[in-house]
Structure 1
Amino acid sequence: MSTESAQAPASTAEAPWPVRTVARKIGDWIHRLGTVWVEGQVTQVSSRPNTQTAFLTLRDPSADVSMSVTCPNWLIREMEPPLREGASVVVHAKPSYFFGRGTISLRADQIRAVGIGELLARIERLKKLLTAEGLFSAQRKRPIPFLPKGVGLITGRASAAERDVLANAQGRWPHVRIKVLNTAVQGSQAVPQVMRALRIFDADPEIDVIVIARGGGSVEDLLPFSDEALCRAVSAAGTPVVSAIGHEPDTPLLDYVADLRCSTPTDAGKRIVPDLREETERVRQMRDRGRRALHGWVDTQARLLNQIRSRPSLADPLGPIQRRQDDVDVHRERARRAMLTLLAKDQAELASSRARLTALGPAATLARGYAVVQFVDAEGNLQVLRSVSEVEAGAQLRVRVGDGAIKAVAEGEQE
C-alpha cells in the first residue's frame, strides 16, 4: 500500500487524488511516528465491565487540545489508585489512524499516574523559571485601589469561596459592585475557563480589581492555579489581580504572581474594600482633630492681635504718618530749589557756549562778506577749493555766501 502511495503521481486539478489515496498517505505518515510518551490530563474515562477496550480523553492542561485514547480495559482496572477524571497521567501509546472515519487516536499499552512528589517537583521547577523571568518581582505588582468602582470575582458556582468573598466585602462596604463569573476551579476545564473569565474582566472598564478565589483542597485540586499559562495571563493582565486560593498553608504559584495574595477567600473580602465603619470613625477623628487645630490657631491669632493692639504705636496711628508727610514736604522743597539752581546754571553755560560757537562758526565769517568755493572731485564729492590748481577752466563751482549758495563756472586763472 505504501509503495503504491509513494509511486502515485502528484495531484493536479485535472488529475486529483481520490479520498482513499489521501487517507492512505496520511495513515502512512502517522504510522511512521511509532510509540510516544504523552503527558496530559484525563477529562473522560469510559470503562465498561463487559468490554475489552476502555476509552479515555486526554487533554493538554495549558491549551484547548485533546486526543482520544484507547487501551485494554484491564489496564484501567488494575491502576492504583483508580483512574479518575482530572488526574494527570503519562501514557505510552502509538498513534493510530482509522482509515474509514479519517480520525486519529492513541493506542496505549502503559498508563502511569503522576504522583504528588512529581507534581510538586514540577511546580518547583516552574516556580524557579518564573522567578528567573521576574514574574514574581515586587516591582511588577500594582497597588489595589482603595475603593474600587467594580470588583470582578472568578470562583466556582455556588461555592463557599463565593459566599465568603461576597459576605465579607458587602459587610464592610455595602455599596460595593461585584460581578461574578463562575468557572471550574479544578479539573481539566479550570485553566481555560479561569483564563477566559480573566480576559473578560480585564477588558471591562468598570472593573478595577479581579479576585480569583477557591476554597481549600488537595495538591491535585489546586494544581490548575499553578499552571504556567494562567500565571503568565495574570502577569500580563492590565487590571490588578488578587489571589485567594485555599487556606493559609496553600501557596499555588498564582499567589506569587498576583498583585495581592490573600490567605483565604474571607481575607480577600476584607482586603479589597475598606470597612465603612472604620472609615467613618477615621473621618470623625480627623474632623475632630481639624476642629481642635483650627480653634487653637484662631485663639493664638486672637491673642497676637490683642498684643499688637495694646502697643503705644496704635494709640495715635496717624501721628507717625503726619510726621513722615512733613519730612517729605521739606525734602521735596529742597529738591525743587536744588533743581532750579542747577537748571539756571546749566542754562547760563549753554548760552555762553552758543555764543562762542556762533563767533567761531563759518556762518559769522560768511556774514562778514566772505564766501566758500566748492568743486566736484573725480568721485563726485564736493570739496573746498583751496588752490586754483585744483580746477580747470569750465569746471562747475558752488559758491556759498552768508544767505545761500550759487553756481559758477571757472573761466581760467587770473593774473
Structure 2
Amino acid sequence: MNQNPGPPAGGQLDAPAKPSTLPATALETSAENPWPLRLLSQKLKSHIDRVPPTWIEGQVIELNRRNNVTYLTLRDTEAEASFSLVAWGSVMARLEFPLEPGSRVVAQLKPDLYVKTGRLSMQTRDIRPVGLGDLLARLERLRHALAAEGLFALERKKPLPMLPHRIGLITGRDSDAMKDVIRNASLRWPAVAFEVREVAVQGVNAVTQIQRALVELDAREDVEVIVIARGGGSLEDLLPFSSEDLIRAVSAAHTPVVSAIGHEADRPLLDEVADLRASTPTDAAKRIVPDVNEELARIAQARQMLDRRVDQLIRVESERLTAIRSRPVLANPASMVEARHEDLQRLSSRAYNCISAAVHRDSDRIAHLRAQVRSLSPQNTLDRGYAVVQLPDGSVLRDSSDAAAGTRLRVRVAVGELSADVAP
C-alpha cells in the first residue's frame, strides 16, 4: 500500500519550506557547518556588484584581440601590481588609434564575478590613451600642489659641503651617467669616494628602488651629499623622477640631494625639490667637488698675495723705525737725561734755599719770643732783687694782715729760699 499519496489532480503542491540551518555569516562557518560553494559565490558577487565603476591608470603590457573581445593586462606605473581587463568591441571602437603594448592609458573598470567558475574579471566600460599633453597637465597640477605646500621653497634648500669626502650616487646599473659622475668628480678631486646604489631608473620598479636607496644613503653618517643621476630620455621615461612619493622622500632627507636628470631641457619635479639642480650628470660632478688644480692655483695665488702683504708691512714698519730713530731724542738719548738732571739740580737748589730762608726766619722769631717769655718770667723779677713770700699753705702773701704773729713764712729769692717768722 502506498503510504505517500500522489499530488491531487490538476497540479503539484510545493513542499513546505524548511528552516535554514546554514550560518548567516562567513565568520560563523566551521568544518562541521560549512557554506555550499554556490552561497559563497553568490555573496561575493553581491558584494562585488556594489563596487562602483572606478577610473584607474596603468600601462598596457599585454594585448590580445579575440573576435569581438580584447583582453588586456594593465600594470601600475610605479609598483608591481597588474590586472587583467576585458574590453568589448564597442569600447575599443571608440579609440581614435589602436592601442599597442607599452601605451599608458586610463580606464573605467567595473569588477564582475562569474558565479559558475568563480572567476573575477574587470569589465572595461571606457578606455583612453594618456597623451603627452595629459601627462604635462597632470605634472603641472602636481607641481603647483607641492609648491603650495612649500616643498620647493628656497629656505628649505640645504647647503652642499664645500669638500665632501664621500658622495652617495643613485643611478642606473652600469649607466653612462654613473661613469660620467665618477670619472669627472675623480678627475677634479682624486681623493673623493663614492657610495654607489645601482637601481632601475625607469619602469614600475624605479620609484621604489630609488626611494630605498635614498633612505639607505641618508641614514649613513659618512655620506655628505647624495646625487640622483640619469641620462636623457623621453617624458615617459623620466616620469619616475616626478613621482609624488619620491619628491616627498627627497624633501624629508637630512642629507643634501643633487638632481642630475637628463639634459638641460629636462625638468622633472625632482629638480624642484632637490637642494641643487645640475643640468647633466657631468655638471653635477663639477658642482659637488672643487677642481684640485684650481684650488692649488688659488692657494699659490693666496700665498703670493700674503708674501706681498708681509713684505709691504715689513718695509713700512722699517721706514717707521728709521724715522723714529732719526729723531733727536733717540739720536742722543743722554740729552734727555742731562736736561732732566739740570732741572733736578735747579729745583733741589731752589728747595734748599727756600727751606734755609724759612729756618732762619723762624729761628729769629723763636729767639724773639724766647726773649719776651724770659722778660715776663717771675725768675727775671727775682733776678732784679725782688722776693716772693709764701704762706705755709704755699699761697703768695700779698697783704701783711694775712700773716699773724708767729707765722712761718717761706721767702724765695733769685737764688734759693729761706724761712722767716712774723714778729709779734
TM band (smaller chain): 0.5 to 0.7
Following superposition of structure 1 onto structure 2, how do residues 9-408 of structure 1 map, counting pairs within 5 Å?
11=27, 18=34, 20=37, 25-42=43-60, 44-45=61-62, 47=64, 54-59=71-76, 61=78, 64=79, 66-71=81-86, 80=97, 82-85=99-102, 87-96=103-112, 106-317=122-333, 320=336
Measured after TM superposition, the shift of residue 263 of structure 1 is 0.9
Measured after TM superposition, the shift of residue 135 of structure 1 is 1.6
The whole-number CA distance in structure 2 between the counterparts of 1:5 and 1:156 is 62
Measured after TM superposition, the shift of residue 98 of structure 1 is 7.5
Contact 1:145/1:209, CA 8 A, preserved across alignment: yes
2:398 corresponds in structure 1 to: none
Instruction: State the secondary structure of the residue aligned to 1:94.
Output: strand
Measured after TM superposition, the shift of residue 245 of structure 1 is 1.0
Measured after TM superposition, the shift of residue 239 of structure 1 is 0.9
Contact 1:54/1:76, CA 8 A, preserved across alignment: no
- Go from structure 1 to structure 2 and tell me whether the alpha carbon gap of 1:234 and 1:115 turns closer, same or farther (over 3 Å shift): same
Instruction: State the secondary structure of the residue aligned to 2:135.
Output: helix
Contact 2:77/2:203, CA 8 A, preserved across alignment: no
The whole-number CA distance in structure 1 between the counterparts of 2:333 and 2:127 is 106
**Residue-by-residue CA offset, 1:283-319 (whole Å, 9 max, x unaligned):** 1100111111111111111111111112111234355
**Which AA in structure 2 matches 1:93?**
L
TM-score (norm 1): 0.68
The whole-number CA distance in structure 2 between the counterparts of 1:326 and 1:97 is 129
Deviates more, 1:145-154 or 1:94-103: 94-103
**Which AA in structure 1 matches 2:51?**
L
Contact 2:23/2:29, CA 8 A, preserved across alignment: no
**Which AA in structure 1 matches 2:296?**
T
**Which AA in structure 1 matches 2:71?**
A
Measured after TM superposition, the shift of residue 35 of structure 1 is 2.7
Q: Considering only aligned residues, what root-mean-square deviation do their CA atoms show, in Å?
A: 3.9
Instruction: State the secondary structure of the residue aligned to 1:161.
Output: helix
The whole-number CA distance in structure 1 between the counterparts of 2:318 and 2:328 is 18
Instruction: State the secondary structure of the residue aligned to 1:301.
Output: helix
Measured after TM superposition, the shift of residue 212 of structure 1 is 0.9
Percent sequence identity over aligned pairs: 46
Measured after TM superposition, the shift of residue 207 of structure 1 is 0.9
The whole-number CA distance in structure 2 between the counterparts of 1:327 and 1:144 is 73
TM-score (norm 2): 0.67
- Go from structure 1 to structure 2 and tell me whether the alpha carbon gap of 1:155 and 1:49 turns closer, same or farther (over 3 Å shift): farther
The whole-number CA distance in structure 2 between the counterparts of 1:39 and 1:55 is 13
Contact 2:225/2:256, CA 8 A, preserved across alignment: yes
Measured after TM superposition, the shift of residue 156 of structure 1 is 0.9
Contiguous gaps of at least 5 residues in structure 2: 1-19, 356-424
The whole-number CA distance in structure 1 between the counterparts of 2:128 and 2:256 is 39
Measured after TM superposition, the shift of residue 60 of structure 1 is 5.6
**Residue-by-residue CA offset, 1:75-95 (whole Å, 9 max, x unaligned):** 89989464334x432122222
Instruction: State the secondary structure of the residue aligned to 1:68.
Output: strand
- Go from structure 1 to structure 2 and tell me whether the alpha carbon gap of 1:9 and 1:310 turns closer, same or farther (over 3 Å shift): closer
Measured after TM superposition, the shift of residue 107 of structure 1 is 3.6
2:373 corresponds in structure 1 to: none
**Residue-by-residue CA offset, 1:83-139 (whole Å, 9 max, x unaligned):** 334x43212222245889988663435432211000000111111112222222211
The whole-number CA distance in structure 2 between the counterparts of 1:104 and 1:5 is 29
- Go from structure 1 to structure 2 and tell me whether the alpha carbon gap of 1:46 and 1:9 turns closer, same or farther (over 3 Å shift): closer
Size of the aligned set, in residue pairs, is 329
Contact 1:71/1:109, CA 8 A, preserved across alignment: no
Measured after TM superposition, the shift of residue 184 of structure 1 is 1.2
**Which AA in structure 2 matches 1:71?**
V
Instruction: State the secondary structure of the residue aligned to 1:84.
Output: coil
Instruction: State the secondary structure of the residue aligned to 2:333.
Output: coil
The whole-number CA distance in structure 2 between the counterparts of 1:101 and 1:213 is 49
Instruction: State the secondary structure of the residue aligned to 1:148.
Output: coil
* Pairing 1:8–2:29 present: no
The whole-number CA distance in structure 1 between the counterparts of 2:128 and 2:21 is 37
Measured after TM superposition, the shift of residue 40 of structure 1 is 2.9
Deviates more, 1:182-191 or 1:109-118: 109-118
1:366 corresponds in structure 2 to: none
Q: Give the greater-gyration-radius structure (CA).
A: 2
**Residue-by-residue CA offset, 1:230-272 (whole Å, 9 max, x unaligned):** 1111111111111111111111111111111111111111111
Contiguous gaps of at least 5 residues in structure 1: 339-415
Deviates more, 1:230-239 or 1:116-125: 230-239
Contact 2:23/2:34, CA 8 A, preserved across alignment: no
- Go from structure 1 to structure 2 and tell me whether the alpha carbon gap of 1:14 and 1:7 turns closer, same or farther (over 3 Å shift): closer
Measured after TM superposition, the shift of residue 23 of structure 1 is 6.6
Measured after TM superposition, the shift of residue 10 of structure 1 is 7.6
The whole-number CA distance in structure 2 between the counterparts of 1:240 and 1:279 is 23
- Go from structure 1 to structure 2 and tell me whether the alpha carbon gap of 1:283 and 1:9 turns closer, same or farther (over 3 Å shift): closer
Contact 2:58/2:74, CA 8 A, preserved across alignment: no
